[in-house]
Chain A
Amino acid sequence: MGDLFYLGSRYISHHRAKLLVLIFAITLVSWLPVAIQIIVDQTAEQLLDRAESTPLVIGAPGSPLELSLGSLYFRAKTPARLDYSEVKKVEATGYARAIPLYYRFRAQDYPIVGTSPDYFSYRGLQMASGRPVALLGEAVIGSKVAEVMSLGVGDHIISSPESVFDLAGVYPLKMPVVGVLAASFSPDDEAVFVDVKTTWVIQGLGHGHQDLNRQEAVGQVLKREGDNLVANASVRQFNEITSDNLESFHFHGDNASFPISAIIPNAPDEKSAALLLGQFQEEREDVQIVRSRRVIAQLLDTVFTVRDYIVVGIAVVAIATAIVALLVFYLSLRLRSGERFTLARIGASRLQVQILMATEVVFVLLLSAALAALLITLTRQYGISLMQQLLLA
């Protein structure tokens, strides 16, 4: 048996280039259809899970898909704007509590999500360390943000300016991290949560500055009109909210007109959700209310269709590859007829010759199968996040 193994290994070593091409081709056509199936199924499961836990989403008129993906995954680059007054309008129906979401801003690669304390109980998010957001300017970060940015309670995270050329626009706000969420294996792991008012401060709708009534601020007062002080442009605004300057933060204007990206209505039961849906669809044309599951299911239908085409294509390629492989094996056996003759002349039995000839085929098939199995396992582990990023980018 050792001599057969030796001869077989020598043959494989001598023809390694040809065999490697065969192994690569067979591995690929075995792995690809299974991998696509796994990734699409897992993605579909995760997308639907998130959508099912968020049955309704309200946003500005526009693409329902963008609204759903934005409010579920905080991925929208330029989310459509909705007035904060809509929160009160949803609550006034009596059918649901309204959870605002404002996900326009980012801290490096991670979305800053302005919301209310109800979001955390709605998603069932737990604190791994620290406490929830209590004050303006505080942030709670997802587990992955904490891990990747090496941040913890007591550290600070800074909002990213939208454009380096917009000098008069959004200032970076330095926010203390007061809590880190436990991993939930959802997009919440990759988000920075603040109170919705903090996102308005980031946007410049609210700010803090020194008291203009104080003597040292006299150089910053342009004029006095009755009881109103008009300040000049030299008023220095705070870029960090601390306990010392918290009281100086204020908002100019009515917050009912301030922007948010979406509202998650938290209805106590399906009947209330249905009534809310009906009322908004019937009476409101200036906002859209979407059923996230339906929207995501439509997205997945497209994905499934594409998947089916790809799988059919791969199946055709697989058949062609199998035929080519058979041809290669057949030609290889034909080319090895002299080798078989020599082996018979030096005393090899018929069985030994057959085993030696089969070594090439068995080696290629076994190694291809092992590699395909390894790739499938890796796909099960890591393919989903890769696919999600491709889908949602």
Chain B
Amino acid sequence: MFKVSRKLFLLILCFVTLASCGQEQPSQQPANVTQAYIVAVNNPLHYFAHRLLGDRVDVRLPVPDDIDPAQWQPLVEDLLQLQGAELVLLNGAGYSPWVANVSLASGRVVITAETARDQWIELEGQVTHSHGPEGDHAHGGYAFTTWMDMSLAKIQARAVATAIAARWPQWSGDIAQRLEGLLADIDELDEGYRSFATQAGDRQLIYSHPVYQYFERAYGLAGRSLHWEAGEMPVEQEWQALTENLEPNALFIWEAEPAGEIAARMKALGLQYVVIDPGANRAERDWLEQQRKNLSGRF
């Protein structure tokens, strides 16, 4: 009787084991189910979306850390990731020119600066072309660092909020509340940059890169733009060109903290500098913190 029971017990054990093996698949299923996610093409948009959604939806920035998102060219794998996204947050103003030649569903694409198209700054000196019977011509391009004008940043934040609230209407109340906080923070940045502009007064401004067009226009900080890399010592001719028309009160605005030798050379020239990082790239700090850090600079 005991032997029979033991056999029976072993049989039941085998059955339960097999049954549990069979049940393992469904339990693994959720891991295979694609989770809803959003893709943003630069750090400000990534920050806006994350700030508005919290951790409820995965917000991805597929651009490698060492690549400027404006120069990023997605690989096929990146594009397949973009196709699977609930929303693809684009900047607009020609920020991601590759969009014209890839396959994305228009309903998932949000051009966040689209409603401010009339405020886009068209670049000068860009060669366009025309040919064929239609004679139409292509645009030469726009300046694209739109979010450095905080009024445009607010428009972009609202566009992100509208898109995600339309996609997840069940969270629209919370999104609206979070948007208020975000806009308040951007207003604070706006105030900060206005104060910065006041301090800068009528000093001569030199920008390390031509990415500050919206910043210059919004805060009345027109200046001369160079093509200097913060980590790369400019050649002597470039230093000479810089010093030729240098005024004593000139202020140099860098995208990133310049290398020690560059900083030393500037100090020797008596040229003051500050770092105003647009924060396009993913970094240690989020976009808002980066902007606050920009404003904490003293000159």
Contacts and interface: CB of A to CB of B under 8 A. Distances in A.
Nearest to B124: A227
Nearest to A247: B101
A88 B100 CA distance: 16
Contacts of B129: 212, 228-231
A195 interface: yes
A117 B105 contact: yes
A132 B80 contact: yes
Given A228-B137, A235-B131, A195 B106 contact: no
Contacts of A106: none
Contacts of B102: 134-136, 195
A118 B100 contact: no
Interface in B86-116: 98, 100-108
Interface in A220-270: 222, 227-233, 235, 246-247, 249-253
Interface string A182-197: 0000000000000101
Interface in A112-167: 116-118, 131-136, 138
On chain B, which size bracket covers the interface?
Answer: 20 to 34
A360 interface: no
B26 interface: no
Given A117-B104, A249-B101, A213 B130 contact: no
Nearest to A251: B100
A347 interface: no
Contacts of A118: 105, 107-108
A134 B128 contact: no
Contacts of A195: 102-103
Given A91-B106, A229-B130, A134 B100 contact: no
Interface residues of A, number: 39
A57 interface: no
Given A94-B166, A131-B80, A228-B127, A252 B132 contact: yes
Nearest to A178: B76
A136 B100 CA distance: 8
A230 B100 contact: no
Contacts of B128: 227-229
Nearest to B134: A252
Contacts of A229: 127-130
Contacts of A132: 80, 83, 103
Identify whether the interface residues of B are mostly helix, strand, loop, or mixed: mixed
A81 interface: no
B33 interface: no
Given A228-B127, A228-B128, A134 B105 contact: no
A289 interface: no
A135 B137 contact: no
A168 to B, nearest CB: 8
B131 A231 contact: yes
Interface string B111-141: 0000000000000011111111110111010
B182 to A, nearest CB: 23
A231 B130 contact: yes
A293 B128 CA distance: 49
A340 interface: no
Interface in B137-194: 137-138, 140, 166
B125 A91 contact: no
B130 A230 contact: yes
Given A131-B80, A132-B80, A97 B127 contact: no
A317 B118 CA distance: 76
4 shortest A-B CB distances, which residue pairs? A231-B131, A195-B103, A97-B107, A252-B136
Interface of A: 87-88, 91, 94, 97-100, 116-118, 131-136, 138, 168, 195, 197, 212-213, 222, 227-233, 235, 246-247, 249-253
Given A97-B105, A229-B127, 5 more contacts: A97-B107, A98-B107, A132-B103, A212-B127, A227-B140
11 contacts: A87-B106, A116-B103, A116-B107, A135-B102, A168-B133, A222-B131, A228-B127, A228-B128, A233-B131, A249-B100, A253-B134
